[in-house]
């Protein structure tokens, strides 16, 4: 601390913080505080009962060999065993590869939303069409995707019809190609939700800014990148958050219907691995362990996203 | 004070009355009051489901006060449902249970039937069937399951297709199988059809039928425990060699090209388009109904030398849960399953009863029995029932890709080996648990 700063603080009076003598509260303030605590207690109790206790139990059971009826304590070594399992790392790799689809799951709806916002011909019709995936169950989407990607499916038929028969492939039969098929289906599933988010965002923009940019001589593309996109930042961030969370924890139904996690472990994500361990193999302890790992990963992803959002606002955590 | 004493007294009396009432209506002691016995199964619409329904009807006729509620649960997560129900004690009185290590895995909520069912009833059951339902696979320890039937993992072939293609004898080893494939292909038939057997969701074909025969072709029965213990590693060169030859079935055009995604493989066989299929006794009736005398059973010849073993195993049956609401009636039902009347019902559904002294009237089922009784082949258990469930799970995921040519045999076997290596030592001992 510089001398000048120290002098300024001395002149300003006692340093706020720990050293400051606590001001006596008024009786009304104390009563309000007590009432606030009392009124918060039921909600806090519900959160602890419905969230805190199960999470604590899951942490405990993750270190046991638990079949739902009897639990044998293993200890933290259970985590070491799980982390040394190559299958676990294969599953994490699948999750990481699926994250590569996020830019497409955001970029394509952003482009569509921009075209719709520009009121291209038939935009009302296309707005309904692009929202359709949101209204359809993911199970149905998965069933349709299986038919689309099948060897005798629509995709291969289309390829043959346009003279690209040599590119025909059974995408769901290869480990990597099945993951690509899953990613494409995921991107399509997110299309409606993200398009609507961006359309809503564009509707909130001040049209005079666009008009001013146009007067300044910017073309459509420049207006999008220099004006519209920066102003949509909040909506892009929101879309990013829900898309990442969906990629980690909402793909179960698609995977279950399309590939059951196969071929091999080619499309098994951590979320699906939790289900398989607990409910296919009846090893609830192992399922809890992978669930805790998924929980920790989601916390980290959430914190990073929070950090990115707040740092752009000039705020800390 | 006096008022509190009065309230406490009334409460105690009410509790006592409730307790007495509940014990009287528990069903364990009464045999004449109306009772609804609940049975869960995962048979879907297979002929096992028909057999179970008919057993229930016959039992109701004998026990007028009992109504049997047969509940079909989804096969995909049947054991998860059963386990979850056991935790909350809301499951059935009786449940279909797979034998071997599946039984041992779930025995925490299954009743050991030793001393619960008369020894004379046990004596009527094929001893080989009872063996695989007991701790350490020793019937003296008491079974947890009363077997419903004797099952075979088995090959079915179309005699007419074979004749038209000029295949004059049933193949008994790999070389004969590939030769037969060549002839069948030339005659315009699909030699082997693979698929998920019509399951509604996109699961792949179940590879443990074939894997059982590959290991039969490689090891005598006495060696199979070493696959469980790890004394024979999954990555052994002999195993890789078997898988490598197996994968040639597809690469040489003996199978359909979409082995991982086909769903109507049973239809291919029933229509005569495909000449061979590896399946099980649960579909015998379906095939005989569709193909009549054209269908016959054969032992999948996944062996370099003429194959000497066949999977003949009581793969499933009924267990009584530890929390059964009506144990008396549940045990009566299990006893009924050991009777000649029950055997006739099981046979009528196209299955092979596991009751001594009974027979099958289905000629294709009889052919399977003849493999053991007349051809003196060794009866093997189902491999997936005698290796660890984790290994089975990994194999179910990896092995189909080997046939498809997507991954190498060594990679798939390394995955099995890795899964086995992750298990605690107690789950890969030199004796079964």
- Ramachandran sector of residue B214 (left: φ over 0; alpha: ψ -120 to 50; beta: rest): alpha
Please tell me the predicted confidence (pLDDT) of residue B36: 96
- Ramachandran sector of residue B2 (left: φ over 0; alpha: ψ -120 to 50; beta: rest): alpha
- Taking the mean position of all CA atoms in its chain, how far away is CA B175? 30
Please give the helix or strand (H or E) that residue A88 lies within, else none: helix A86-99
Task: Give the residue among B216, B235, B240 at the shortest CA–CA distance from B312.
Answer: B216
Task: Tell whether the model's pLDDT for residue A14 goes beyond 60.
Answer: no
- Out of A84, A259, A268, the one facing B202 most closely (by C-beta) is A259
Taking every pair of Cα atoms in chain A, the longest distance, rounded to a whole number of angstroms, is 85
| Band (A314; pLDDT cuts 50, 70, 90) | low
Please tell me the predicted confidence (pLDDT) of residue B199: 59
Residue B56 shares a structural domain with residue B73: yes
Give B397's contacts in chain A (Cβ within 8 Å): 261-265, 268
Chain A nearest-CA distance from B256, in A, is 11
Please tell me the predicted confidence (pLDDT) of residue B128: 83
Please tell me the predicted confidence (pLDDT) of residue A22: 59
Burial profile A188-204: b = 16 or more Cβ within 10 angstroms, e = fewer: bbbbbbbbbbbbebbee
In a domain, B26, yes or no: no
Residue B136 shares a structural domain with residue B52: yes
Residue B263 shares a structural domain with residue B157: yes
Residue B394 shares a structural domain with residue B246: yes
In a domain, B134, yes or no: yes
Residue B177 shares a structural domain with residue B39: no
User: Starting from the edge strand earliest in sequence, which strands make up the sheet with B94-98, in order?
Assistant: B66-72, B35-41, B94-98, B316-320, B146-147
Cα separations in angstroms, B144 against B89, B95, B108, B130, B402: 18, 11, 10, 9, 36
Please tell me the predicted confidence (pLDDT) of residue B198: 60
Give B404's contacts in chain A (Cβ within 8 Å): 173, 263
Q: Give first-to-last CA distance, chain B, whole Å.
A: 60
Give A276: exposed, middle or buried? Use CB within 10 Å, 0-12, 13-18, 19+: buried
- Out of A258, A263, A268, the one facing B401 most closely (by C-beta) is A263
Cα separations in angstroms, A154 against A150, A151, A172, B257: 8, 9, 13, 17
| Band (A21; pLDDT cuts 50, 70, 90) | low
In a domain, B93, yes or no: yes
In a domain, B13, yes or no: no
Residue B67 shares a structural domain with residue B161: no
Kindly report the CATH number assigned to the domain that includes residue B284.
3.40.190.10
* Mean pLDDT value of segment A91-108: 94
- Which of B301, B324, B356 is the last residue before a domain boundary? B356
Q: Tell me which residue range forms the domain holding B334.
A: 34-150+314-356
ipTM associated with this complex: 0.74
Asked if A172's CB is within 8 angstroms of B202's CB, the reply is: yes
In a domain, B17, yes or no: no
Tell me which residues of chain A have a C-beta less than 8 Å from any C-beta of chain B: 65, 67-70, 81, 84-87, 142, 146, 150-152, 170, 172-175, 256-265, 268, 276, 278-283
Q: Can you give the three-state secondary structure of chain B, one letter per residue?
A: CHHHHHHHHHHHHHHHHHHHHHHHCCCCCCCCCCEEEEEEECCCCCHHHHHHHHHHHHHHHHCCCEEEEEEECCHHHHHHHHHHHHHHCCCCCEEEEECCHHHHHCHHHECCCECCECHHHHHCECHHHHHCCEHHHCHHHCECCEECCEEEEEEEEEHHHHHHHCCCCCCCCHHHHHHHHHHHHHCCCEEECCCCCCCCCCCCCCCHHHHHHHHHHHCCHHHHHHHHHCCCCCCCHHHHHHHHHHHHHHHCCCECCCCCCCCCHHHHHHCCCEEEEEEEHHHHHHHHHHHHHHEEEECCCCCCCCCCEEEEECCEEEEEECCCCCHHHHHHHHHHCCCHHHHHHHHHCCCECCECCCCCCCHHHHHHHHHHHCCCCEEECCHHHHCCHHHHHHHHHHHHHHHHCCCCHHHHHHHHHHHHHHCCHHHCCCCCC
In a domain, B166, yes or no: yes
| Band (A288; pLDDT cuts 50, 70, 90) | very high
- Which of B295, B328, B356 is the last residue before a domain boundary? B356
In a domain, B20, yes or no: no
Residue B205 shares a structural domain with residue B304: yes
- Out of A67, A70, A151, the one facing B258 most closely (by C-beta) is A151
Instruction: Answer whether the bond into residue A263 is a cis peptide, omega within 30°.
Output: yes
Please tell me the predicted confidence (pLDDT) of residue A112: 92
**Taking a C-beta distance cutoff of 8 angstroms, is the pair A184, A133 a contact?**
no
| Band (A280; pLDDT cuts 50, 70, 90) | confident
Residue B232 shares a structural domain with residue B342: no
A215-249 tens-digit pLDDT: 999 988 899 889 989 999 889 988 998 899 899 88
Write down the mean pLDDT value for chain A.
86
Q: How far apart are CA B249 and CA A195, in angstroms?
A: 48
Q: Which residues contact B325 (CB under 8 A, 6 or more apart)?
A: B26, B27, B38, B93
Coil, helix or strand for A39?
A: helix
Residue B130 shares a structural domain with residue B240: no
Please tell me the predicted confidence (pLDDT) of residue A303: 86
Give the Cα-Cα-Cα angle A101, A245, A301 (nearest 5 degrees). Answer: 95
Task: Tell whether the model's pLDDT for residue A4 goes beyond 70.
Answer: no
Residue B201 shares a structural domain with residue B108: no
Cα separations in angstroms, B252 against B162, B289, B297, B403: 18, 31, 24, 11
Asked if A67's CB is within 8 angstroms of B108's CB, the reply is: yes
Asked if B397's CB is within 8 angstroms of A264's CB, the reply is: yes
Chain B nearest-CA distance from A260, in A, is 6
Asked if B203's CB is within 8 angstroms of A282's CB, the reply is: no
- Quote the crossing angle between the two packed helices B174-186 and B237-251, to the nearest 10°: 10
Asked if B84's CB is within 8 angstroms of A150's CB, the reply is: no
Tell me how many domains chain B contains. Answer: 2
Residue B282 shares a structural domain with residue B384: yes
B67: Cα within 13 Å, side-chain hemisphere: 6
Question: Which segments of chain B have a pLDDT < 50?
Answer: 1-30, 200-202
Please tell me the predicted confidence (pLDDT) of residue B391: 94
Task: Give the residue among B365, B354, B205, B345 at the shortest CA–CA distance from B285.
Answer: B365
Chain B nearest-CA distance from A221, in A, is 44
* Mean pLDDT value of segment A121-136: 83
Task: Give the residue among B246, B242, B240 at the shortest CA–CA distance from B414.
Answer: B240
In a domain, B113, yes or no: yes
Residue B129 shares a structural domain with residue B160: no
Q: How far apart are CA B7 and CA B12, in angstroms?
A: 9
**Taking a C-beta distance cutoff of 8 angstroms, is the pair B286, B279 a contact?**
no
């Amino acid at each position: 601390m510089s001398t000048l700063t120290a002098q300024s603080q001395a002149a300003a009076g006692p340093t706020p913080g720990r050293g400051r003598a606590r001001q006596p509260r008024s009786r009304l303030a104390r009563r309000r505080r007590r009432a606030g605590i009392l009124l918060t207690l039921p909600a806090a109790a519900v959160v602890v009962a419905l969230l805190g206790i199960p999470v604590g139990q899951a942490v405990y059971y993750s270190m046991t060999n638990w079949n739902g009826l009897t639990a044998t304590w293993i200890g933290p070594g259970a985590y070491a065993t799980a982390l040394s399992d190559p299958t676990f790392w294969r599953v994490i790799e699948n999750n990481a590869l699926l994250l590569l689809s996020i830019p497409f799951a955001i970029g394509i709806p952003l482009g569509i939303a921009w075209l719709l916002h520009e009121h291209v011909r038939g935009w009302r019709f296309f707005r309904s069409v692009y929202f359709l995936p949101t209204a359809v169950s993911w199970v149905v989407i998965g069933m349709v995707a299986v038919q689309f990607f099948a060897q005798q499916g629509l995709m291969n038929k289309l390829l043959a019809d346009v003279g690209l028969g040599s590119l025909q492939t059974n995408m769901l039969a290869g480990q990597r190609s099945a993951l690509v098929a899953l990613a494409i289906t995921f991107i399509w599933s997110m299309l409606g939700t993200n398009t609507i988010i961006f359309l809503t965002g564009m509707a909130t923009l001040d049209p005079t800014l666009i008009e001013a940019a146009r007067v300044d001589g910017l073309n459509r593309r420049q207006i999008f990148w220099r004006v519209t996109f920066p102003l949509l930042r909040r909506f892009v961030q929101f879309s990013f958050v829900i898309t990442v969370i969906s990629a980690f924890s909402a793909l179960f139904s698609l995977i279950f219907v399309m590939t059951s996690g196969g071929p091999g472990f080619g499309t098994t994500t951590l979320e699906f691995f939790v289900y398989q361990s607990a409910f296919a193999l009846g090893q609830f302890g192992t399922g809890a362990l992978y669930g805790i790992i998924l929980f920790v990963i989601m916390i980290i992803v959430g914190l990073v996203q929070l950090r990115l959002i707040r740092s752009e606002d000039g705020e800390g955590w | 004070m006096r008022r509190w004493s009065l309230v406490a007294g009334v409460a105690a009396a009410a509790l006592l009355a409730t307790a007495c009432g509940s014990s009287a209506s528990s069903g364990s002691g009464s045999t004449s009051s109306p009772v609804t016995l609940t049975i869960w199964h995962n048979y879907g619409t297979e002929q096992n489901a028909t057999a179970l329904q008919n057993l229930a009807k016959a039992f109701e006729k004998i026990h007028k006060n009992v109504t049997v509620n047969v509940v079909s649960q989804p096969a995909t997560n049947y054991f998860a449902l059963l386990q979850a129900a056991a935790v909350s004690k809301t499951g059935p009185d009786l449940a279909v249970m797979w034998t071997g290590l599946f039984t041992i895995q779930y025995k925490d909520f299954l009743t050991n039937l030793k001393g619960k069912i008369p020894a004379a009833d046990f004596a009527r059951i094929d001893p080989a069937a009872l063996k695989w339902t007991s701790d350490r696979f020793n019937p003296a320890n008491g079974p947890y399951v009363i077997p419903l039937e004797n099952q075979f993992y088995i090959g079915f072939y179309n005699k007419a297709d074979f004749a038209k293609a000029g295949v004059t004898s049933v193949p008994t080893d790999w070389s004969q199988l590939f030769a037969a494939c060549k002839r069948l292909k030339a005659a315009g038939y699909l030699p082997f059809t693979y698929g998920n057997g019509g399951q509604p969701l996109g699961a792949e074909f179940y590879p443990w039928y074939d894997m059982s025969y590959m290991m039969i072709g490689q090891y005598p029965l006495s060696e199979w425990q070493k696959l469980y213990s790890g004394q024979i590693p999954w990555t052994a060169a002999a195993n890789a060699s078997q898988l490598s030859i197996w994968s040639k079935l597809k690469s040489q055009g003996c199978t359909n090209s979409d082995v991982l995604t086909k769903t109507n493989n049973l239809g291919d066989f029933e229509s005569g388009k495909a000449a061979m299929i590896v399946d099980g006794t649960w579909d015998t009736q379906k095939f005989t109904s569709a193909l009549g005398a054209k269908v016959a059973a054969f032992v999948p010849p996944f062996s370099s030398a003429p194959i000497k073993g066949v999977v003949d195993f009581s793969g499933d049956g009924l267990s009584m849960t530890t929390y059964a609401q009506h144990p008396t009636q549940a045990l009566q039902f299990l006893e009924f399953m050991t009777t000649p009347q029950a055997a006739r019902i099981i046979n009528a559904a196209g299955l092979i009863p596991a009751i001594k002294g009974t027979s099958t009237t289905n000629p294709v089922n009889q052919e399977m029995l003849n493999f053991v009784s007349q051809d003196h082949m060794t009866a093997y258990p189902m491999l997936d029932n005698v290796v660890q469930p984790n290994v089975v799970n990994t194999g179910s995921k990896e092995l189909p890709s080997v046939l498809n040519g997507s991954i190498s045999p060594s990679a798939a076997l390394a995955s099995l080996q890795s899964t086995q290596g992750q298990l605690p030592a107690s789950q890969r001992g030199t004796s079964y648990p």
